[in-house]
A and B are shown apart, each in its own frame.
Chain A
Amino acid sequence: MIEALLVLALAIGLGWPLGRYLAAVMRGAPMRGDRLFDWIERPFYRLLGTDPRRGMSWRGYAKAFALSNLVVGGLVWGLFMTQAWLPLNPDAIPNLRWDTALHTMVSFLTNTNQQHYSGQAQLSYLSQMVGIVGLQMATPMMGLALVVATLRALMGGRQAMQHGSDPASTAGSEADVGNYWADVVRGGLRFLLPLCLLWSVLLTSQGVPSTLQGGPIATPVDASAGMTQQKLPLGPVAPMVAIKQLGTNGGGWYGPNSSVPLENPTPFSNLLETLALILIPVAVAFMVGPFTGRRKFTALVFGSMLLMSVLSTGTGIVLEGHTASAAAPLLMEGKEVRFGANASALWATLTTQTSNGSVNAMHDSLAPLTGLVTLGNMLVNAIWGGIGCGLQQFIVYLLLAVFLAGLMTGRTPELFGRKIEAREVRLLSLLILLQPLALLGFTALTLALPQFTDNSNPGFHGISQVFYEYTSAFANNGSGFEGLGDATYWWNLTCSLVLALGRYPALIVPLAVAASLARKRHAPEGPGSLHIETPTFALTTIAVIVILTLLQFMPVLVLGPVAEHLSLAAH
C-alpha cells in the first residue's frame, strides 16, 4: 500500500509541472527553448512539407492522421517481413510470418503493443529499434495530438481560444483545430523524447542492458534443467523499456516484459517503471486546464480520474490478497517472487488504467476478481487511459453525462455553451455500440468455433482469457492472459481488426463531435446553465461510466471472472 501511495504522490507531484509544460508546448505560443527546438524541428516540417502555423479543419486533421498511419504502418509491416535480410541482426533472426507481422504492426501502430511474438527471439535489433521503438515514440503523440485538437474544437477552435476574440464570431464556420504534423513533432521532440532520455539513463544506472552487441553465452549454475549453455539475449533494452513505460505502450524487449530481471532489475527500477506507467496520463489531465484556459476543467478531469483510479487500485490490491486464490501456493503463481502480491496487483491495476499493458506479473494468474478489476479498467478505458486516448474517451463519457445531466437541469444539454443535439448523439451512439459489438461479437464467435480459434483453456477461465484478449486489444492496452496460444491466423487477424476498431473511431469520432459543436452558436454560460466543474457533476459522470460499463458487460463478466471466483471459493 505504501508503494501505491508513493507512486501516486510522485505522479501527482511531477505530473503537475509536466502538465503545465505540455500545455505550453501544445498551445504553440512562444516559449523558452524555442531557438533550439525550432532549429531541430525545421527539417521535419520541411520533410513533411507543412507550415506548422497553418491550421487544419477537423477533416484535414483526421486525414493527416490517417495518412501518417497508413504510410508508417506499411513501412513497418515491410520491415518485419524482411528483417532477416537487413542489417543489425547479430542473432540471425528470421522474418516474421505475414499475419504475425501484420498484427505486430497494427498493435504497435495503435499504441497497444499486444504481442503475439517474443521480442528477444523473433525481432532483430533493427526491427526493435526502428519499427517498435519508432512506433512507440510516435503513436502516443498521435493520440495526444487528436485529443488536443478535440479540446481546441470544444473551445471553439484555435481562433476562439486566442485571447480577446469573441467565441460567437466563429459560429457557422469550420473550426481551426491545429496542425497535426506540428502537434506530433512538437509533442515528440519537446516533451516525450527528453523524458525518455532521462528514464533510459536512470534505468541503465540500475543495470538494464543498453548495448548493440549480440548476447553472450552463459553456463547455468544449475544444470539440472538439462541445459548446459544459455544464450543471454541483450540489446538496447533500457531506451525501449523507458518508452514502453512512459508512452502507455507496454510492449517490452522480452516476452515476459517487466517481470524479467533484465527489464526490471531492482526495487528502484520497479518504482521508476510503475511511476512511468501513469506519469504522462496524469500530466495530460493536468494539461487540460492551462491548455484550455479553464483551470476548473482540470479539477473535473483529474478529480474524476483520481477517484476512479484510487477505487480501482485499492480494490485490486485488496482482492488479490484476500479472495479465492489468496492461499499460499496459488497466490504466487505467475508472480515474480521479488515483487510479491501487492506490487504485482498495483502494477496490474495501473497498467490497465492507463492502457499501457506492460506487466510485472502474469495477469492470467491473478485472482479472478482482480482480473475482473483489470477488465473493468480496460472496458472503461478512461481512468487516466492511454496518452490522449484516455482523455478522448473521458470526453465521450463527459458528453453523455452532459446530455443526461443537462436534461435533468431543465435545459437543452450543452457543453461549454454549445448544444448537444441529434447529430452529436448519433456519432456518440456509434461509439457506444462499437465496443460491445466488437468485444462480445468476437468473444462469442471465438468461443463458439473452437476448431478455428485454438483457445487453450476450458471453463470460466477460458471465457475470461478470450474476452481479456479482445478487451485488451480494443482498449489498446496490450496486456494479455498469457495462457492463450495467440500466434495463429485467427488471433492475429481478428485482433488486428479489433485493435484498429478500438483506436481510430475512438480518436476521430470525438473530434468530429467537437468540431460539429464548434460550428454552433456559442451561448455564454449563465446562472442557469449546467456547471460541469462541480463534485455533483463529476459523480454523475462516474455514475454514467460505471452503469454503462456494467450494463454492457455484466453477463460476460459474470460468466467469466465472477463464476471462476465462485467456483474457486466453493472448493
Chain B
Amino acid sequence: MIQQSHQTKTQHGHPASIDAASLRASVRDAFLKLAPRHIVKSPVMAIVLGGTLLAASITLAGAAPAGFGWAVTAILLVTVLFGNFAEAVAEARGRGQASSLRRARKDLVARRVDDVKGFRPGMRGNETQLPAADLRPGDHVVVSEGELIPADGEIVHGLATINESAVTGESAPVLREAGTDRSGVIGGTKVLSDEIVVRVTAEPGHSFLDRMIALVEGANRQKTPNEIALTMLLAAMTLTFLIVVATLSAIGAFVGVHVDPLLLIALLVCLIPTTIGGLLPAIGIAGMNRALSANVLAKSGKAVEVAGDVDVLLLDKTGTITHGDRQATAFHALTGINVEQLRDAALLSSLADPTPEGKSVVRLAREQGAAMQDPAHAHYIQFTAQTRMSGVDLDAGARLIRKGAGDTIERHVLALGGEVPAELKARVEQVARGGATPLVVSEGRYVLGVIELSDVVKHGVKDKFARLRAMGIKTVMITGDNPLTAAAIAAEAGVDDYIAEARPEDKLARIRSEQASGRLVAMVGDGTNDAPALAQADVGLAMNSGTQAAKEAGNMVDLDSDPTKLLAVVEVGKQQLITRGALTTFSLANDVSKYFAILPALFAAAIPSMAALNVMGLSSPKNAVLAALIFNALVIPALIPLALRGVRFKPASATVLLRRNMLLYGVGGVLLPFVAIKLVDLALDATIGT
C-alpha cells in the first residue's frame, strides 16, 4: 500500500497565479501552437499568421524597407504568439490541477473480497491483493483505516470517515455510510477511521479522477454553442475587413494613392478582432477551471454555460436548506397524560431506532431524566415504507408502543379499537405551524402525545437565496413535510416557492412543467431517487457525497457537497458569457482609433491634407502603423488575467449590467487606444526617431 501525504488546498488555489516553470512551458506551447492544424481553429489568428508570412515575403523580396518590414513581421508574429500564449496559460493551470490529481491515483493496491456475503468486519483471509487498475465494476474491496480507496464505488458495508482532500482540496474529513444517500466514495481518497467494503462502480481509466483529469487538461474540450455562434460572428467581421482592405488599393489608385501592401496587411491585422480571437479559447478553458476552483466538476463546458441561464432552482429541503437531521426538541403530552409517561414511551420506541431522529428522541428523553434501560424480551418494529411507523412490542405483545406520523398512528389506534382525542389534531397542527415535524406516540389503544422534531435552517442560506433572486433565479424547495411545516421553513429560509408532501415523481413533474413553460431548470440532489430529476434538469448538480446513480445522472458534481454551490456555478457561467461579450465589444470598439492612426499614414504621402485626420498627432506614418500594431499585440497579454479571472460580476438587473459593461468596454474601448497608441508612439519617437 502506498501511503502518501497530500498537499491540500493548494491545487485549486488562486486562479490567476502561475509559477515560473509553467510559464516557461506556456511559452514553449505558444510556439508549438503555431502548427497549421491548431491555428485553423481560430480564423482570426489564422489570418494574422498568413499576414505574417506575407509580410516576411514582401520584406525578403525587397518591396519594403528592411527595418520597417521586419519590425512589422515580428509584431505580427508576436500577436499570434500572444494569442497562443493565452490559451497555453489557461491550459497550464488546468494541467497543474491535473497533475496533483494524478498523484492521488497512481499505484494503488486493492484488497478484493471474493465472498461478500460471508464478510465480517475485521476478518482476514478471503481477500486477494491486486493492482487497482485490474478492478472491474462489481468487484468488492475492503478498505481499512489509513488506506487509500482504490477505485470509485459505493459503500455496501460499514461507515467511515474519509479524507477527500486529494480530490476536493478540503481537509476536513467527511462521513460516508452504507445504505444512505452518502454512500459514494472516490478512488484515491483516504479512509481515516473504521473499515468499509466498497463495490467498485467505475471501469479502469474511466474513474472520476480520470475524467476529471481529462477535463481540466482541456484534452477534449468542445466549443460551447455560444462560443460557436461568436466564432461565426468574428469570422464574418474578419471577412468584412478582408473585403475592406482588398478593395482599398483599387479605390485608392483612382486618386493616385498607391498603398504599400505591407501597410494593408498592418491595417487588416489591426482591424480584425484579434483581441477576442486570441483570448476566446482561454476564456472557455478558464471557465471550466474556475468552476473547478469552486470545487465543482462540470462534465462539459456547455453545462457551465447553461448554468448562467438558469431561471429556476429546485432543491431538496433536507441537507440543503436545513441541516437535515431533525432533532427532537420537546414532548407535548395530551391532556390527562403524564409527560413522563409520554417521554418513557417515546424512549422505548426509539431505543433500537438507528435514524438520527430516533437517536435524538433517546437523547432528549435521557436529558429530561428518563433512566430506563433496554427492556428484556422486546420486539422492535423497524420503520418501513408500508407501515410508516416504528416502535416496540413489550411483554410478549402486551404493550404495543408506536410512533409515527399523525394519520398513521390514528389509523393504528382506530384499528386497535381505540379513540383519537380531538385535541390531537390541534396539537399536531400547532407543532407543524412552527415549522417542526410532529411525531405522534401511542401505547396500545391510547394516544399519548406528540414529539416535536425541529429542523434547523442552515446559517447563511437566506443570503444565498437572496443573491440568487437578485440574479433572477427563482428557488423552489422540495420537501416531504406537510404543507404547514413546509411553509414555515420556506418563509424562514427565504425560498420563493415550495412543494410539500413531495414524492420523487413530483420533482420530475415540476421540472417538466417548468421546462414546458420555457424555463431553464437546475436541480440539486444527492439521492438515488433524485437521479431522474437530475437527468431531466438542464443543470443537474449532484453532491459528491451522493449515490453513484445521482452523480451519473447530473451534469456537474459538487465535490464539497454544498448544495448552495450552484450559486458559484451560475456566477461562473455568467462571468464567462460577460467576459466574451465585453472583450468582443472592446475589440471592435478599438478599431475606431486604429483607423485614425493608420488611414492618415496610408494616404498622407499622396494626399497631404489627410494630415487633418491625424488627430493623435502621431510622429510619422511609419511610427503610427507600428504604434497601432504594437498596441494591438500588447493588449492581448494585458487582458490575459481578465480572461482567466473573468469580468467582475455583481448580481444586478440586466440593464444595470449592460450599462456598466457598455461604458467600461464599449466607450472605454473607443477611448483607451487613442491614449495608448499615442503613448507607444511617443516611446517609439524617443527610441528610434520618426
Interface residue ranges, A against B (CB under 8 Å)? 166-168, 171, 403-413, 417, 420-422, 424-426, 428-430, 432-433, 436-437, 440-441, 443-445, 447-448, 459-460, 462-463, 521-524, 526-531, 534, 536-537, 539-540, 543, 547, 550-556, 558-559, 562-563, 566-567, 569-570
In the assembled complex, B155 has its CB within 8 A of some CB on chain A: no
Q: Which residues of A contact B574 (CB under 8 A)?
A: 410-411
- Cα of A522 to Cα of B515 in the assembled complex, Å: 10
Give the residue name and chain of the A residue nearest to B598 (CB): A555
Residue pair A425, B233 in contact (C-beta under 8 Å): yes
B251-A540 in contact (CB<8A): no
Complex Cα–Cα for A522 and B518 (A): 5
In the complex, whether B672 has a CB less than 8 A from a CB of chain A is: no
B311: chain A residues within 8 A (beta carbon): 523, 526, 528
Is A551 touching B236 in the complex (CB atoms < 8 A)? no
Output the nearest chain B residue to A448 by Cβ-Cβ distance: B250
Asked whether, in the complex, the Cβ of B662 is within 8 Å of the Cβ of A524, the reply is: no
- Taking CB atoms, residues of chain A closer than 8 Å to B655 are 530-531, 534, 536-537
Q: Which residues of B contact A554 (CB under 8 A)?
A: 595, 599
B612, CB-defined interface residue at 8 Å:
yes
Q: List 8 A-B contacts (CB under 8 A).
A: A408-B661, A409-B578, A411-B577, A440-B243, A528-B311, A536-B659, A559-B255, A569-B609
* Nearest residue, chain B, Cβ from A166: B517
Does A559 contact B654, Cβ atoms closer than 8 Å?
no
Is the beta-carbon distance between A408 and B236 smaller than 8 angstroms?
no
Q: Which residues of A contact B592 (CB under 8 A)?
A: 547, 550-551
Residues of chain A with a CB closer than 8 A to B649's CB:
410
Residue B452 is within 8 A (CB to CB) of chain A in the complex: no
Task: Please state if B236 and A441 are interface contacts (CB–CB under 8 Å).
Answer: no
Q: Would you list which residues of chain B between 198 and 257 have a CB under 8 Å from chain A?
A: 225-226, 228-230, 232-233, 235-237, 239-241, 243-244, 246-248, 250-255, 257
By the criterion CB–CB under 8 Å, are A562 and B613 in contact?
yes
Does B4 touch A at the CB level, under 8 Å? Answer: no
- Tell me the B residues contacting A by CB distance below 8 Å: 225-226, 228-230, 232-233, 235-237, 239-241, 243-244, 246-248, 250-255, 257, 271, 305-306, 308-309, 311, 469, 471-474, 515-520, 573-575, 577-578, 580-582, 584-585, 588-589, 591-592, 595, 599, 603, 607, 609-610, 612-613, 649, 653-655, 657-659, 661-662, 665-666
**Residue on B nearest A410 in the bound complex, by CB:** B574
Partner of A447, one of B237, B250, B599, B659: B250
For the complex with contacts A412-B305, A528-B472, A550-B592, 20 further pairs of A-B residues with Cβ separation under 8 Å are A168-B516, A168-B518, A407-B580, A407-B581, A411-B577, A412-B225, A422-B225, A426-B232, A428-B233, A429-B236, A436-B240, A523-B518, A523-B519, A536-B659, A543-B666, A550-B595, A551-B271, A559-B257, A562-B613, A566-B607
What total count of A-B pairs have CB within 8 Å? 213
Could you tell me if A429 and B244 are in contact, using CB atoms closer than 8 angstroms?
A: no
B243→A433 contact, CB < 8 A: yes
Smallest CB gap from A171: residue in B: B518
Closest to A426 in B: B232
A404 touches B581 (CB 8 A): yes
Contact of B607 among A443, A448, A563 (CB under 8 A): A563
A463 and B250 CA atoms in complex are apart in Å by 11
Task: Compute how far the CA of A238 lies from the CA of B622 in the bound complex, rounded to whole angstroms.
Answer: 60
- Whether the pair B236, A432 counts as a contact (CB closer than 8 A) is yes
**Is the beta-carbon distance between B658 and A566 smaller than 8 angstroms?**
no
Given the interface contacts A462-B254, A536-B659, does A425 sit within 8 Å of B232 by beta carbon? yes
Q: Given that A422-B225, A529-B472 are contacting pairs, would A403 and B578 also be in contact in the complex, using a CB cutoff of 8 Å?
A: no
Give Cα A555–Cα B267 distance, bound, in whole angstroms.
11
Complex interface: chain A residues within 8 A of B610 (CB): 558, 563, 566
| Residues on B with beta carbons closer than 8 Å to the beta carbon of A405 | 581, 658, 662
Assembly CA distance A146 to B502 (angstroms):
50
The complex places the Cα of A200 from the Cα of B409 at a distance, in Å, of 90
Residue on B nearest A529 in the bound complex, by CB? B654
Chain A residues lying within 8 Å of B473, measured Cβ to Cβ, are 528
Closest residue on chain A to residue B249 by CB atoms:
A444
Complex Cα–Cα for A409 and B661 (A)? 8
B233, A411: Cβ atoms under 8 Å? no
Q: Which residues of A contact B595 (CB under 8 A)?
A: 550-551, 554-555
B581 touches A408 (CB 8 A): yes
Residue in B225, B241, B585 whose Cβ sees the most chain A Cβ within 10 Å: B585
Closest to B582 in A: A408
Give A348 Cβ to nearest chain B Cβ, in Å: 24
CB–CB B472/A443 < 8 A:
no
By Cβ-Cβ distance, the 3 closest A-B pairs, closest first, are: A528-B472, A407-B581, A410-B574
**Chain B residues whose CB sits within 8 angstroms of the CB of A432 once the complex forms:** 236-237, 240
Cα A425 to Cα B473 with chains together (Å): 27
Of A407, A430, A531, A555, which is within 8 A of B584 by CB?
A407
With a CB–CB cut-off of 8 A, which chain A residues contact B577? 406-407, 410-412
Which B residue's beta carbon lies closest to that of A540?
Answer: B662
Whether the pair B255, A406 counts as a contact (CB closer than 8 A) is no
B658 and A524 form a contact (CB under 8 A): no
- In angstroms, how far is the closest chain A Cβ from the Cβ of B187? 36
Q: Flag if B578 contacts A410 (CB, 8 Å).
A: yes
- Report A272 CB to chain B, min CB distance, Å: 40
Name which residue of chain A comes closest to B609, CB basis: A566
Chain B positions within 8 Å of A420 at CB level = 229
Please tell me which one of the listed residues B228, B252, B308, B657 contacts residue A559 in the complex, with CB atoms under 8 A apart. Answer: B252
Q: State the Cβ distance, A425 to closest chain B Cβ, in Å.
A: 4
Q: Return chain A residues, CB-CB under 8 Å to B254.
A: 447-448, 462-463
Residues of chain A contacted by B657 (CB below 8 angstroms): 408-410
B578 x A436 contact (CB < 8 A): no
- A558 to B: closest C-beta gap in Å: 6
Give bound CA distance, A408 to B658, whole Å.
Answer: 6
Complex CA–CA separation, A567 to B474 (angstroms): 63
Contacts of A550 in B (CB 8 A): 592, 595
Q: How far is the CB of A510 from chain B (nearest CB, A)?
A: 16
**CB-CB < 8 A to A551: which residues of B?**
237, 240-241, 244, 271, 588, 591-592, 595
**Contact assessment for B243 and A521 in the assembled complex, using a CB-CB cutoff below 8 Å:** no
B581 proximity list for chain A (CB < 8 A): 404-409
Cβ of A426: which chain B residues have Cβ within 8 Å of it?
Answer: 232
Closest to A400 in B: B233
In the complex, what distance in Å separates the CA atom of A554 from the CA atom of B591?
11
Q: How far does the alpha carbon of A428 sit from the alpha carbon of B236 in the complex, in Å?
A: 9
Residue of B nearest to A527 (CB): B472
Report B579 CB to chain A, min CB distance, Å: 9
Tell me the nearest residue of chain B to A417, going by C-beta. B518
Interface contact A410-B253, CB-CB below 8 Å: no
Q: Kindly list chain B residues whose C-beta atoms are within 8 Å of the C-beta of A460.
A: 255
CA–CA, A526 to B521, complex, Å?
13
Docked Cα-Cα span, A547 to B271, in Å, equals: 12
Contact A422 to B654, CB < 8 A, known contacts A410-B649, A551-B271: no
Contact A528 B517 (CB under 8 A): no
Query: Across the interface, which residues of B come within 8 angstroms of A522, CB to CB?
Result: 518
Cα A569 to Cα B613 in complex, Å, equals: 13
Contacts A536-B659, A547-B589 known; A552 to B578 CB distance under 8 Å?
no
Partner of B251, one of A407, A422, A444, A567: A444
B224 to A, closest residue via Cβ: A412
Contact A555 B255 (CB under 8 A): no
Q: Which residues of B contact A521 (CB under 8 A)?
A: 515, 518
B275 to chain A, nearest CB (A): 14
CB-based contact A563/B229 at 8 Å: no
A550 to B271, alpha carbons, bound, how many Å? 12
The answer to whether residues A444 and B516 also contact, given A410-B574, A422-B225 and a CB cut-off of 8 A, is: no
CB distance from A546 to the nearest CB of B (A): 10
Q: How far is the CA of A433 from the CA of B592 in the complex (A)?
A: 19
Contact of A566 with B612 in the complex, beta carbons under 8 Å: yes
Find the B residue at minimum CB distance from A555.
B248
Task: Report B-chain residues with C-beta under 8 Å of the C-beta of A441.
Answer: 243, 247
A558-B613 in contact (CB<8A): yes
Which residues of the partner chain B approach A167 to less than 8 Å between Cβ atoms?
A: 518
A422 near B472 with CB under 8 A, answer no
Residues of A within 8 A of B589 (CB): 547
Q: Among B237, B253, B473, find the residue whose CB has the most chain A CB atoms closer than 10 A.
A: B237
